Structure 1
């Protein structure tokens, strides 16, 4: 199996906002651990729940205003990490920069887990 190739396909499908193509790369028992929510983050378990989360995130009615740059894909034995940076602007014009990583776990030639971690530009506590 070529985890790197699968992650390239995933990134391409995400950029196209193609939920069907994303789900073709996921297992039926997949898990998506988002970076936002009460856990912290929110965990979506199973293909139907993950599809719903991806559909909300990638809703064509809410296209991203900024840009996302894929920085690096690193893969190992049944896992992969994708580093990325998103750039946008706040309503007052200040830059909004998000640096993040997605950690993927594989089962066979499909993605079993997508776990997102991110840092957001802002005031320190």
Structure 2
């Protein structure tokens, strides 16, 4: 994985292109959400579970996109920082800063752990 790959990954999210997104993920990938009952949020394991969760994001927030993405990689770890933008069901716009921390294995994303600021 390199910086261009991480930007292409974000671009695929912004196009809601699940096949392209999953082409960056390993078959045994793990997605840890920014919130949930465990210390790591909620964990989805395996390609099908992760894919289903990603699709559900667009079902809940059809206009979701990630702006101002920047990335870095160090060894088998990487980070993408971005601004998460969507519209709530009541019409309120949301813009929150966040990041994904990645662990890479064999040129693919093995673990995607998401973090996001919250509005009060």
- What TM-score range do you get, normalising by the shorter chain? 0.7 to 0.9
Q: Find the counterpart in structure 2 of residue 82 from structure 1.
A: 80
* Partner of residue 53, structure 2: 53
In structure 1, the partner of 2:119 is 121
Q: CA–CA distance in 2 between the matches of 1:31 and 1:38?
A: 17
Q: Distance in 1 between matches of 2:32 and 2:66?
A: 20
Change (3 A) 1:48 1:71: closer
How many residue pairs end up in the alignment? 118
Of 99, 102, 106, which residue of structure 1 is paired with 2:100?
A: 102
The two structures, once aligned, show a CA RMSD in angstroms of 2.2
CA contact (8 A) 2:61 2:87 kept: no
TM value normalised by structure 2? 0.84
Residue aligning to 2:35: 36
Conserved 8 A contact 1:102-1:115: yes
Q: 5 Å matches for 1:58-77? A: 58-59=58-59, 62-64=61-63, 68-77=66-75
Q: What's 2:25 paired with? A: 26
Residue 104 of structure 1 and its aligned partner are, at CA, apart by: 0.8
User: Which is worse superposed, 112-121 or 78-87?
Assistant: 78-87
Query: Structure 1 length as normaliser, TM-score?
Result: 0.81
Q: Which has the larger radius of gyration?
A: 1
